[in-house]
């Protein structure tokens, strides 16, 4: 089976998680597709598709949402996995962020979906991002909360 892991990553955390997912999918033909550099990937040749994005201020990027809307007819007939990366500590709010990231039509047919944790990569943020993170999250240095067990469970379910 051919699998595509399609992601959009602002500072690199979602890419890191996508690569971790790829490394756990042994004995499979897995292609990583970064929507930042490959804006219109061909999807029909893939049997399975995983889509991931980063949550900033409670939402994923509009580019990722638009990609899902445009390709919904193809995605809804594939074996599908959905994930988001973010630093929200509250499990109820994590679920809200995951649910708001993807259309209900895709969430309902996804074989696996998860909130996989995230990182504050202070050195990769611009001045405004740093200011907001320091004020709201009270974080002054790079912090990682990638959920390794959740990634393994996501891949196992998929």
For residue range 99-122, what is the model confidence (pLDDT) as tens digits? 989 999 999 999 999 999 987 767
Predicted pLDDT of residue 56? 75
Domains of the chain: 2-119+147-157 (3.40.50.360)
Ordered mean pLDDT values, 10 residues apiece, the chain (158 residues): 91 92 90 90 93 83 89 92 92 91 92 90 75 72 84 92
Residue 110 class from Cβ within 10 Å (0-12 exposed, 13-18 middle, 19+ buried)?
buried
Predicted pLDDT of residue 110? 93
Predicted pLDDT of residue 135? 67
Query: What mean pLDDT, rounded, does the chain reach?
Result: 88
> For 43, how many CA atoms within 13 A lie in the half-sphere containing its CB?
22
Q: What is the pTM of this model?
A: 0.87
Which secondary-structure segment (H or E) carries 52?
strand 48-54
Predicted pLDDT of residue 134? 66
Predicted pLDDT of residue 130? 67
CA-CA-CA-CA torsion sign (100, 101, 102, 108) = negative
């Amino acid at each position: 089976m051919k699998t595509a892991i399609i992601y959009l990553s602002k500072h690199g955390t979602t890419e890191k998680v996508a690569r971790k997912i790829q490394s756990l999918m042994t004995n499979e033909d897995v292609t990583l597709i970064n929507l930042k550099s490959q804006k219109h990937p061909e999807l029909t040749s893939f049997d399975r598709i995983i889509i991931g994005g980063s949550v900033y201020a409670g939402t994923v990027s509009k580019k990722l949402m638009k990609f899902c809307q445009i390709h919904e007819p193809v995605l809804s007939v594939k074996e599908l996995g959905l994930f988001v990366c973010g630093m929200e500590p509250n499990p109820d709010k994590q679920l809200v962020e995951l649910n708001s990231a993807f259309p209900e039509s895709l969430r309902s047919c996804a074989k696996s979906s998860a909130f996989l944790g995230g990182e504050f990569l202070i050195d990769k943020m611009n001045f405004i991002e740093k200011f907001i993170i320091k004020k709201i999250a009270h974080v002054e240095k790079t912090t990682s909360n990638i959920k390794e067990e959740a990634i393994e469970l996501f891949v196992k379910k998929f």
